[in-house]
Chain A
Amino acid sequence: MSDREGPVASRLGGRVVVALVAVGALLPLLTLVLRAAADEWRSPSALPQRYGTRGIEEAFADAPRAAEAILNSLVVGLAATAIALVVAWPAARVIGERRLRRTAPLWVLLGLPLLVPPFATGSGLTEWFIRLGIADTLFGLVVAHLIPVLPYVVLILASGFRPEVREVEEAAAVHGAGPARRLALVTLPALAPVVAVAALLGFLVSWSQYGLSLAVGGGTPMLPLVLVPFVGSDPQVAAVLALVFLAPAVAAVALSLALVARLADGGRRAREPGSRGARRALEGVPGGGR
């Protein structure tokens, strides 16, 4: 793949890379689906002998814990992400607009909770949570999940608050748009892609938490906690739960592919957050609408 090889060789090399990447990305997922649907898959056959829904039935019908765990993980992830988005918003604006002279203490403060093992933080929180009466509750889990979710959301949201956004907001203010109108018609549309990424990543961070939930949640079933025992005992059920566990990540990849397609479609302009959406929103407030 060196530059000196002919164009044919390098094009062939390029195709090999794409093929390898596609196989590496998709083959594991396909085998997971195959395993989840394989009611009978005896060695040494490379393909299952019998397909069926035993895995799904075992996971949900006989063990309501799995369904409860999925619901718990979903609720905790959504709540932690929603709270993080609201709390992170003002901080992200200050950071994104570069109003700080020294940023090093900020990175340390936001980075340390991400570096220290979540099981350690959670383990230390347990006794306080017991005293407050929020140990082993979904509320306690939401609070604990804010530790890793909030720094990520702050950092990503900050990347969206560029000076251009402030400029468009000021233009809207000059035209008489009040704070609520500005937020709904200018700021949110301008930041929509960044908010989507922040929300998705925040949710994924919460959804994938293992050590923190184990330490703080006590016996509360959460998806990753319920999944682990099945890895050894029933690979088919483990595969079914792993597919559920994987779903938000697949959604993230699909969203990225869609964004890539839109980028290629709309040219380079759409890349700047706040360009298209903000202008469209601003067109919506001619003269303040009053």
Chain B
Amino acid sequence: MARARSLAPLAPALLIVLALWGAGMAGAVRSSLGVNRISGWSAADLDAYRTLLGDPEFWDALWFTLRIAALATAVSAVLAVALAAALRRHGPSTRVLAAVPVPMPHLVAAVLAVLWLAPGGIADRVLGSLPVDLVRDPAGLGIVLVYVYKETPFLALLVLAAWGPAVAAREEAAAVLGARPLQRLRWVVWPAIRAPLVTGSAVVAAFVIGAFEVPLAIGPTSPQTLSELALSATKTASLDGRSVANAALLVASLLAVAVAAGAAAALGRRNE
């Protein structure tokens, strides 16, 4: 009883989150099964999933989404460690400046990318011409670049928080014992920064899998990301379109949660 009372203050916040998010998920599942107000649950079927799985555009979108997420996350994570190493000896004001892209909305980063990298953009004017197409390119490199610009400082801040004086002292001790820089990175620094870096990378990957304002602003018309695919499906007026859209979004949701669960499992196993 006393325990229940001590947990009561959690109720308002948790119930609101649970009710709203749960209703959203339940609604998406319901709609993906073709259930609607008129036909009710008797009409529930897996047609939307069948349509989706039989559509080559879905597989293109799935592959495109996963490739962008993997590439953006991996490049950001590597650069974040380098940025953290460079920022380590600098005071908080430099760190705040380096963190400018963190609160910036993704869409603003995309506008900036178009401004700089589009044909005839600033980079073209200053450098003559860019060797690769980055805006609306079918490989999605422009999208990856925007995410790298946004997420590298985010991950670097997480890494920096774990790469404090205690680690520096151990690095020095290792150096005295003759460990080379790469060895120190692998055996002293990596164990300290692994957890925040992996957790942060999972958050980044989950976000990239689900978000679509960046691909919408700077990505190619084809292939699309999963969310873009869902958006185009919604725009077809039929109810089937909504079902297919929700099915695609649930696939994206599953992927995002799977990435996070995988990261949590990897961290948990190592910590035992």
Contact = CB atoms under 8 A, between A and B. Distances in A.
B213 A3 contact: no
Contact of B10 (A91, A124, A235): A91
Interface in B11-65: 11-14, 16-18, 20-21, 23-31, 36-37
Interface centre among A26, A114, A263, A264 (most CB of B within 10 A): A114
B71 interface: no
Interface stretch (A51-59, A61-69, A207-215, A275-283): A207-215
A122 B242 CA distance: 13
B28 A123 contact: yes
A25 B98 contact: yes
Interface centre among B85, B210, B213 (most CB of A within 10 A): B213
Nearest to A20: B86
B217 A231 contact: yes
A92 B13 CA distance: 9
B249 A246 contact: no
**Main SS of chain A's interface residues?**
helix
Contacts of B230: 119, 123
A125 interface: yes
A231 B250 contact: no
Interface string A243-260: 001101100110011001
A93 B13 CA distance: 12
A17 B90 contact: yes
A90 B8 CA distance: 9
Contacts of B265: none
A273 B103 CA distance: 23
B107 A210 contact: yes
A113 interface: yes
Contacts of A150: 13, 16-17
Contacts of A224: 105, 107, 213
Nearest to B35: A127
B120 interface: yes
A260 B98 CA distance: 14
Given A21-B98, A117-B210, A263 B92 contact: yes
Interface string A138-172: 00000110110011001000000000000000000
A266 to B, nearest CB: 13
A211 B227 contact: yes
B17 A125 contact: no
Nearest to B14: A109
Interface residues of A, number: 86
B222 interface: no
A146 B90 contact: no
A260 B217 CA distance: 35
B10 A94 contact: yes
A24 interface: yes
A111 interface: yes
Contacts of B120: 43-44
B116 interface: yes
Contact of B216 (A99, A228, A239): A228
Contacts of A235: 114-115
A121 to B, nearest CB: 4
Given A43-B125, A249-B104, A94 B9 contact: yes
Given A99-B6, A120-B249, A123-B246, A253 B103 contact: yes
B97 A21 contact: yes
Contact of B115 (A31, A248, A261): A31
A274 B131 CA distance: 55
Top 3 nearest A-B pairs (CB, nearest first) are: A117-B210, A124-B28, A124-B27
Interface of A: 1-3, 10, 14, 17-18, 21-22, 24-26, 28-29, 31-32, 35, 43-46, 87-88, 90-95, 99-100, 106, 109-128, 131, 143-144, 146-147, 150-151, 154, 204, 207-208, 210-211, 214, 224, 227-228, 231, 235, 238-239, 242, 245-246, 248-249, 252-253, 256-257, 260-261, 263-264
Interface of B: 6-7, 9-14, 16-18, 20-21, 23-31, 36-37, 85-87, 89-94, 96-101, 103-108, 110-112, 114-116, 120, 122, 124-126, 172, 175, 181, 203, 206, 209-213, 216-218, 227, 230-231, 234, 245-246, 249-250, 252-253, 256-257, 260
